[in-house]
Structure 1
Amino acid sequence: MFVSTLDTTIEFLKGVGPKRAELFQKELGIFTYEDLLNFFPFRYIDRTRFYKINELDPELPYVQILGRITSKEQIGEKHKKRLVARLTDDTGSIELVWFQSLKWVDENVTKGKVYIVFGKPTVFNGSFSISHPDLENYPRPATITGNLRLQPVYHSTEKLKKFFLDSKGIQKLQTLLIEQNLKEIVETIPSHILEKYQMAGRKEALLNIHFPKDVKSLKSAERRLKFEELFFIQLQLLHNKQLREMRFKGHSFDIVGERINTFYKEILPFELTNAQKRVIKEIRLDTQRGIQMNRLVQGDVGSGKTVVALMSMLLASDNGYQACMMAPTEILARQHYQSIVDLLKDRLVKVAILTGSSTKKQRTQLHSELEAGEIDILVGTHALIEDKVVFKNLGLVVIDEQHRFGVEQRAKLWRKNLTPPHILVMTATPIPRTLAMTLYGDLDVSIIDELPVGRKPIETRHLYEGQRLRMFGFMKEEIKKGRQVYIVYPLIKESEKLDLLHLEAGIEQLSYHFLLPDYQISIVHGKMSNADKQFEMQRFIDHKTQIMVATTVIEVGVNVPNASVMVIENAERFGLSQLHQLRGRVGRGAEQSFCILMSGNKLSPDGKLRLETMVKTNNGFEISEIDLQLRGPGDISGTQQSGVLELKLADLAKDQQILQEARNTVIETLSTDPNLENPQNSLLRTYLSKRSRGIAFDKIS
């Protein structure tokens, strides 16, 4: 088996050694030559311009000067020593100052020699100086990585800098690595794909990403490496999807029987939207194919995903199978359970709930009934994955807000039947198209893009602290009409105690304006027990309280159609997606609802854009695209935990076209050559074999 020198441990690169290697591993996750090669610059400094000394300005971020060292001396005593050199050109002179590594600098900086000097100019006592400048010999050596026009700048850390592994130090190692190992860089993308998109080869791209000849070469390198990154993510996702469809024969739901027909024709109290009907049809077709369904249903807050899930579970029941629905929190699980029970009106199937707070007696009875097949639909939290939970014949698993569950937690549900159950994943977090293609690229995607008939768009207003009395007055008007109000405070991650104090201060403020007994307040926050939270929420649901003061614990899972006002305090502290989720707690009844965003007077540009976006639109998908631009993919939907989105160069907000090209190319390749047996696809076959850690390539038959 061929072993590349790029697999060599970083310790053996000249200038690294054991201590620096350990730091590279801990600080940057760099273990091998290949890892260092794939550690790309995050920006570049234009080294084409030389400044004259009389052109210097303290406002300049950096300058490059060509001059001669005319003097050099060490000044000061013991720990306060510094080395000062004078650099002169034909317009004047400037001081170069070093406070560290004085012996090395003294030995390597020669009086009378011409240098290229690079650094940040500062003014001290009326004169310009540069501290710890970069010095290069003039003329620059003509090596393959020399004559830099665009100097790469690499991320570093304080610990690395102590070992002289700042950006300049990393650049030197990259220079050495590439000069010694350029011939070891092998191509990863087949030539016919490179030709189709007129892309640079990998060797050329890696050389120009670290040491670009010019802007054109840099752009070409970036495009090639971004395509490669996105292409191989799509290849893995879509190949896994192909494998799963061929390997995992699914239950075939051939019957549309009495339960689903009775529910649709006699019990369902409203007309389904066209979007709901379309998604149910897609699920129906999926479950007839005899292979395991894996479908993601995206739907904005209040779009009716629960009804779609229920009808899918009734379809399973009509075909003799059990179904379960797993939610990330007890509040949300109970909400789904109650919605399903209310919709079914105690008819057609038996529904049960299992959560962490279910008693031992309840669990014993439930386990027995479930294993006997007496429970048709089980709703619950993580408790569903416990080994004691045994189904007689599980045919469909519905997972709400999948990103809140770990991979292993989800997999435990699949294993609860010899034939894997169909999987329906739901999310109320609208996902930008590029993120969905990358994060859920192996799933079939359905979108519910209509709200139920009669739903009025929520009016959103942005008020500043000085308009608080106006906000309180509006709350009172709505409560007089018999409506209810949420007030949500931000959860400050650094200090939950601080958050509770903030919430308590808010309650104190409210008590001045909303006196007992005219107004009753429910209080819910993350420090409360589940039982206490449930008690307080139930009081609000039963209309025993008019105002619910809460932290973001109510972001999902509270459905009170009578609540018409959502007040979000310090709204500028929330992300767009979270603001949209919170707003979705109102507008669930027939009455006009309102969302009031309270903020301080000083807003960052991003904070201002978020609040303006919320006022302008109710469209969750439009909001998600702006959120992606602002935050990047790592913070949306918990995707930083997914392992899929560890992108080095590609930006899902900006590189939509490259992603689409990459995905289309993979689809085209796998449709014509599913096993990648064509010699022109041998590089792709090798890649997948390596990713399966030495296991023989999985063949689709």
Structure 2
Amino acid sequence: MNAELDLALERRIGKRSAAVIEKHLGITTVEGLLTYFPRRYLTRGELTPISELPLDEEVTLIARVLSSSTRHMQARRGTITDVIVSDDDGQQGLRLVGGRDFRGKVPGTLKISFFNGYKAKTELLQGRRALFSGKVTSFKGQLGLTNPDFLILDDDPFVQGDADAGRLAAMPIPVYPATAKLPSWKIQKVIATLLETTDLGSLADPVPEAVATREAFLPVADAYRLIHAPETAADWQRARERFRFQEALVLQSALARRRAQLAAEEATARRPLSDGILAAFDQNLPFTLTGGQTAVGSTLAGELAQDTPMNRLLQGEVGSGKTVVALRAMLQVVDAGGQAALLAPTEVLAAQHYDSIRRTLGPLSGDGLLGGLAAGSGPSVQVTLLTGSMPTAARKQAMLDAASGTAGIVIGTHALLSDTVSFYDLGLIVVDEQHRFGVEQRDALRAKARKPPHLLVMTATPIPRTVAMTVFGDLETSTLEELPKGRAPITTHLVGLAENPGWVARIWARAREEINAGHQVYVVCPKIGADDDGDFSPGEAEPPGLDAEESQRELASVTAVVEHLQAEPSLAGVPLAPLHGRQDPDLKTETMAGFTANRIKLLVSTTVIEVGVDVHNATLMVILDADRFGMSQLHQLRGRVGRGGLPGTCLLVTALEPGHPSRRRLEAVAATTDGFVLSQEDLKLRREGDILGASQSGGRSTLKLLRVLDHEDVIARAREDAQAIVGADPLLAGHPELADAIEKYLNPEKEAFLERG
């Protein structure tokens, strides 16, 4: 069906060009290069002559390079490449602005600077002609451009010969994602050849005819031509709209097909009992559930009672009460004779869950048999902890309890995934902080059940609706929006040391004030020790926008900060301790117990306290080198304070200069405590990354034109169409082009990532 698209690239553009494309872009097929879409377009009719450059405005100009020089910077690492350019008459009509021709004016000159600009150094050679686009700045009274985008025009295939001036002025220039050795204009030239040699008319359309007609889409062949070689802005816009919807439809159809497959599986129904452990738990609950907890609990109860597996995402702010909702679901399963497993990302969090759930259950936590009653003492459930660092005897006993059914609720880390761990009747899997786990790990746990188990995925990192529709499209979503009573507000401040170096002493004096008031303090560092690269969450280790100097900056480490604070006069006599992932498990447990019991007043930690740690007396958090953490991670961290009805304060400490891009993230975190607002902003600043793959931030997205934040309407329309198509034809037998597109677009690894079940 896609013989033309599957052809080796050398069959259409020649062996030499194909080898260059494969080497620099990793593309080997006709389809790969046809779908290597321009990232944006420049219009020749929007050019500005050098003599009329406006300060602080975005401009586009064509100029010829007079000279280029590169020097090392004195105050920081790296180089500056200074390029002097002059107005260039070039081809007739190329410098039309607002219908006026600027030929005949005295050419102006301009200095353009590139920081660490290897591409500029190698491509902007004397005599070369290029199009530059950027913001005009002023340095020492002289106008210039800094790090502008540029496009070499010497070999622009569309400016050769006697082209019509007016047509050229309006013709957009496609700008492709390029490499240092393969500039955009060379990619454009190769694709122009591909468009001439490929049989575009033979390409099948994955979008059903009725949908394409309703949307008034361009035919596939026309769309490929106009997205790469448009004559007007309307051309590429129409082509993009077509491919964007096509991409959304393929993705949503894959998800709809996955939902249909899940709905066809047979699970064991876990119906509630009127006189079981859950009923006793609800009767003895010392607080009233929020309206949201009650509503979500009712939804879960209904889905657990069905003989098809529940697959639900539960999201809610830190402290919104997700754990209680999950516990009630687990108790319903235990009442029905099944077991529940709670998978946590760290041993600290697993231990916290174990202690918290046993404490919440109170007398209902006992050594009762699975789903049964302890002899003469009413209903109870055994809660078991299983982690990799447990003593051998304790671990063997926990495994025996899980395998025999003695343990109704098993809480653990990755140790639960071991081949040696088995369950008597696993009915419900609860995955906490889902972003820490891959689909393979969840599947390993699912495989331990006799029938497909029910699944509840929890996250305290709010997910924008479009991301939920796209990435978690095969999970139904529930959200806990209200916080339980007693949660105090958290005030967040940005502490800029670059402009206020004297604030360091004030930070520790502020910590002492909290401790003197009877409260406790967290100090969070990005590193454990001097030899460490950082103790970050997956995908957060290198926030985007780091320059060479910033990435090599010495970061605060737990060991160095502990040493410093032990000698800090304002903290004299304060009991403090370190906590990080490399410590002996017993020491970690002992340290957390000491902090929880208020024996340790100040805890210097890495992000191991990011989730689940619940110390009500902690009111101040100091995050050092806060710019090295992602926004969602900072939001999670600060959620550790203000949990006991006492107002919380979070200080985001950074040494970066004002105006640095990474400080914008900190300003956004300080400006709001609304996790959903932050998650939207976080995605904008971090870029979407490969949302269908393992990476969580930055990088090139698998999605080519679809942006989950910007195109909610497109995703929603495509989702509706996909549900209708798959609902009427689950196997897509009547839509072979769409089925084929799903197989090509979502290779097994990517489709596996969609399997959130």
Using the size of structure 2 for normalisation, the TM-score is 0.76
Name the counterpart of 2:591. Answer: 536
Is the CA contact (8 Å cut-off) linking 1:402 and 1:427 kept in structure 2? yes
Structure 2 equivalent of residue 78 of structure 1? none
Aligned partners of 1:49 and 1:64 also within 8 Å = no
Query: Alignment identity in percent?
Result: 37
Contact kept? 1:119, 1:134, Cα under 8 Å: no
Pairwise CA distance, 1:223: 1.6
Per the alignment, residue 160 of structure 2 pairs with 137
**Counterpart among 298, 307, 311 of residue 294 in structure 1:** 311
Q: For the pair shown, which has the larger CA radius of gyration, 1 or 2?
A: 1
- The answer to whether 1:666 aligns with 2:722 is yes
Does 2:492 match 1:470? no
Report deviation, 1:262: 0.3
1:502, CA displacement in angstroms?
4.2
Q: Residue 604 of structure 1: CA displacement?
A: 3.3
1:91 alignment partner, one of 91, 99, 104: 104
CA 648–291 in structure 1, closer or farther in 2 if over 3 Å, else same: same
* Residue of structure 2 in register with 1:457 after alignment: 489
> Compared with structure 1, are the counterparts of its residues 65 and 23 closer, same or farther at alpha carbon in structure 2 (3 Å cutoff)?
closer
Q: Which residue of 2 aligns with 1:613?
A: 668
Residue 334 of structure 1 aligns with which residue?
351
Q: CA–CA distance in 1 between the matches of 2:54 and 2:325?
A: 65
- Compared CA separation, residues 117 and 545, structure 1 to 2 (3 A): closer
Distance in 1 between residues matched to 2:107 and 2:59, nearest whole Å: 17
Structure with bigger helix share is 1
CA distance in structure 2 between the aligned counterparts of 1:593 and 1:50, rounded to whole angstroms: 53
Given that 2:316 and 2:461 are in contact with CA atoms closer than 8 Å, whether structure 1 keeps it comes out as: yes
Aligned equivalents of 1:693 and 1:390: distance in 2? 31
CA pair 633-692 structure 1, distance change in 2 beyond 3 A: closer
What is the distance in 2 between the residues matched to 1:52 and 1:487? 54
Equivalent residues in 2 for 1:316-335 (5 A)? 316-335=333-352
* C-alpha separation in 2, matches of 1:623 and 1:223: 28
Matches within 5 A, 1:357-396: 357-396=389-428
Aligned equivalents of 2:129, 2:657: Cα separation in 1: 42
1:329–1:195 distance in 2 versus 1, CA, 3 Å: same
Shift of 1:552: 2.2
TM superposition shift of 1:520: 1.1
Is the alpha carbon distance of 1:60 and 1:573 closer, same or farther for their aligned partners in structure 2, counting shifts above 3 Å?
Answer: closer
* Per-residue Cα deviation, 1:671-699 (whole angstroms, up to 9, x for no partner): 4444545x5x45334445667989xxxxx
Identify if the C-alpha distance between structure 1 residues 604 and 656 changes in structure 2 by more than 3 Å, giving closer, same or farther: farther
Determine the structure 2 residue equivalent to 1:10: 9
Are 2:573 and 1:518 aligned? yes
Aligned to 1:258: 276
Residue in structure 2 matching 1:45, options 28, 42, 45: 42
**Contact 1:639–1:645 under 8 Å retained in 2:** no
Q: Deviations over 1:443-488 (max 9, x none)?
A: 0111011111121121222333333333333322211121100011
C-alpha distance in structure 1 between counterparts of 2:176 and 2:31, whole Å: 16
Q: 1:304 to 1:60 in 2, by over 3 A?
A: closer
Is the Cα contact below 8 Å between 2:692 and 2:702 reproduced in 1?
A: no
Task: Identify the match of residue 178 of structure 2 among 156, 172, 176.
Answer: 156
Q: What is the DSSP-based 3-state SS (H/G/I as helix, E as strand, rest coil) of the residue aligned with 1:615?
A: helix
Quickly say closer, same or farther: Cα 1:408–1:91, change in 2 above 3 A. same
Alpha-carbon contact 1:439-1:644 (below 8 Å) kept:
no
Q: TM-score under structure 1 normalisation?
A: 0.82
Contact 2:595 2:603 in 1 (8 A): yes
Aligned equivalent of 2:212? 194
Unpaired runs of 5+ in structure 2? 65-87, 93-102, 109-127, 134-150, 365-379, 536-552, 749-757
Following TM superposition, by how much is the alpha carbon of 1:495 offset from its aligned partner in structure 2, in angstroms?
3.2
- 8 Å Cα contact 1:350-1:376 kept in structure 2: yes
Paired with 2:315 and 2:352, the residues of 1 have a C-alpha distance of 19
Q: Tell me which amino acid in the other structure corresponds to 1:138.
A: G
Offset of 1:405 from its aligned partner? 1.6
Per-residue deviation, residues 89-128 of structure 1 (Å, max 9, x unmatched): 8738999xxxxxxxxxxxxxxxxxxxx965569xxxxxxx
CA distance in 2, matches of 1:501, 1:536: 21
Q: Indicate conservation of the 8 Å contact 1:309/1:398, yes or no.
A: yes
Q: Secondary structure at the match of 1:192?
A: helix
Instruction: Provide the secondary structure at the position in 2 that maps to 1:567.
Output: strand
Show CA shifts across 1:122-145 (max 9, x none). Answer: xxxxxxxx9983364312499xx9
Closer, same or farther in 2 for the Cα pair 1:636/1:504, shift >3 Å?
Answer: farther
1:177 corresponds to which of 194, 198, 210 = 194
- 1:303 and 1:60, CA in 2 relative to 1: closer, same or farther beyond 3 A? closer
CA 1:516–1:648 in structure 2 vs 1: closer, same or farther (change >3 Å)? closer
**Pairwise CA distance, 1:489:** 2.1
8 Å contact from structure 2 (residues 268, 453) kept in 1: yes
State the alpha-carbon separation in 2 of the partners of residues 299 and 49 from structure 1.
Answer: 47
Tell me if the contact between 2:623 and 2:653 (Cα under 8 Å) persists in the aligned partners: yes
Residues 233, 438 of structure 1: 8 Å contact kept: yes
For residue 372 of structure 1, report the CA deviation from its aligned partner: 1.6
Between 1:373-382 and 1:594-603, the stretch displaced more is 594-603
Q: How far apart in 1 are the matches of 2:347 and 2:738?
A: 44
**Number of corresponding residues:** 635
Q: Which letter does structure 1 place at the counterpart of 2:155?
A: D
The whole-number CA distance in structure 1 between the counterparts of 2:636 and 2:605 is 14
Query: How many angstroms apart in 2 are the aligned matches of 1:91 and 1:9?
Result: 50
Q: CA deviation at 1:190?
A: 1.2
- Secondary structure of the 1:137 match is coil
Give distance in 2, aligned partners of 1:212 and 1:258.
68
Question: Which letter does structure 2 place at the counterpart of 1:91?
Answer: G
